[in-house]
Amino acid sequence: MTRFLLARTRRGFTLIELLVVIAIIAVLIGLLLPAVQKVREAAARAQCQNNLKQLGLALHNYHDPNGGLPSNIRPDATSTVRVRWATYLLPYMEQGPLFSQVSLTTNWHAQPTVFGTRLKGFECPSAPNGTIIDGAPDTATPWSPIVANGDYSGFYGVDPALTSLVSPAMPGSGNASNGAISKTTKLNFNAFTDGLSNTLHLTESAGRPNIYRNGKLVVTASASSRINGGGWCRPASELFILRGSDASGTTFPGTSAINVTNGEDLGATYPHPYYNTDGTGHIYGFHTGGVNALFCDGSVRFLRQNTDIRALISVVTRNGGETLSAE
């Protein structure tokens, strides 16, 4: 009996079927992307928290053998050398070889090889990072030093003008030198009479020297318009004093203080006399809803951007006697 082999005809996708498949894939991608972005942001936020935790450990490990926390601008009141506190933490962050290249008798901007080195421990992974032109006005050649970015900073104190804006007023908290960072003094933990767990040590001030407001880049740094500071090595990268702004991030001081703007334009005319040599940064991060913050007891907490300004003033001061919590 003869068998006939019938060839099976293969039918391809019709155009309509192909379009349906593409549409389904597009929908699935659209559904998955936000979830992937959330996972990435959660991982970045956790890494940022860990960075601050490690900085807290380094600060505590420095404190005991050295009789206090590292000062920010100069090792003591008689020194003329400007080196930021972060430099002194390098041996406590497994960066001993880099620290051995640092000259503590030479200003930071004269050591570009060392201070142009990127250190992940000073960078929030959610923020735009890299080597930056710091644009320091306190150097011999303004707008020249190339330094590595740093996203974590602390406060010298609170602007008295801000404490008069809040209701009720907090006149006793307005002091430009009652924060966790000192310019020329090694602060001992005994000076933190509000309690280490009630005093903010470091928080985020990311994106500098470019200017961001409410999640948008509004000014790319230039010689004429920029935030003062940004490098992890530079004393002016400190937040100086808590000032706050209005909701638009353009009028200072004000009662909005977190994620409104990452700083004040040094090229603009602002009344504060220290802005030629001190930082003009504000509290700012690239996490949704707030910023990470290191407290002096070594704990890391998330400060929401709607945190009450009076509570924020309370945790910035180390000896103000306030009882408000920023959580």
Digit-by-digit pLDDT tens for the chain (327 residues) are 445 444 555 566 687 878 888 888 888 888 777 777 778 889 999 999 999 999 999 999 999 999 999 999 877 777 778 889 999 999 999 999 999 999 998 888 888 889 889 999 999 999 987 777 666 555 445 556 678 889 999 999 999 999 989 988 887 788 889 999 999 899 999 999 999 999 999 999 999 989 999 999 998 887 778 888 888 998 888 988 999 999 999 999 999 999 999 999 877 765 555 555 677 899 999 999 999 999 999 999 999 999 999 999 999 999 998 866 776
Using alpha carbons, select from 128, 79, 44 the residue that is nearest to residue 235.
79
For residue 251, the 8-state DSSP code is S
At 93-122, the pLDDT tens digits run 999 999 999 999 888 888 888 988 999 999
- Alpha-carbon torsion (152, 206, 80, 94), positive or negative: positive
Amino acid at 1: M
Report pLDDT for 201.
Answer: 98
Report pLDDT for 78.
Answer: 74
Cβ partners under 8 Å of residue 262, min gap 6: 205, 206, 207, 208, 210, 211, 212, 227, 281, 282, 284
Asked whether 207 and 262 are in contact (CB, 8 A), the reply is yes
pTM of the predicted model, to two decimals?
A: 0.86
Pairing outcome for strands 200-204 and 157-158 = unpaired
Per-residue exposure over 254-280, b if at least 16 CB sit within 10 Å of its own CB, e if not: bbbbbbbbbbbbbbeeeebeebeebbb
For residue 248, the 8-state DSSP code is T
Report pLDDT for 307.
Answer: 96
Using alpha carbons, select from 285, 187, 282 the residue that is nearest to residue 229.
282
- Alpha-carbon torsion (35, 39, 44, 49), positive or negative: positive
Pairs from 43-47 (Cβ < 8 Å, separation ≥ 24): 43/125, 44/124, 44/125, 44/126, 44/287, 45/126, 45/287, 45/292, 47/124, 47/125
**Helices (H), strands (E): how many in the chain?**
6, 10
Report pLDDT for 141.
Answer: 53
Asked whether 273 and 238 are in contact (CB, 8 A), the reply is no
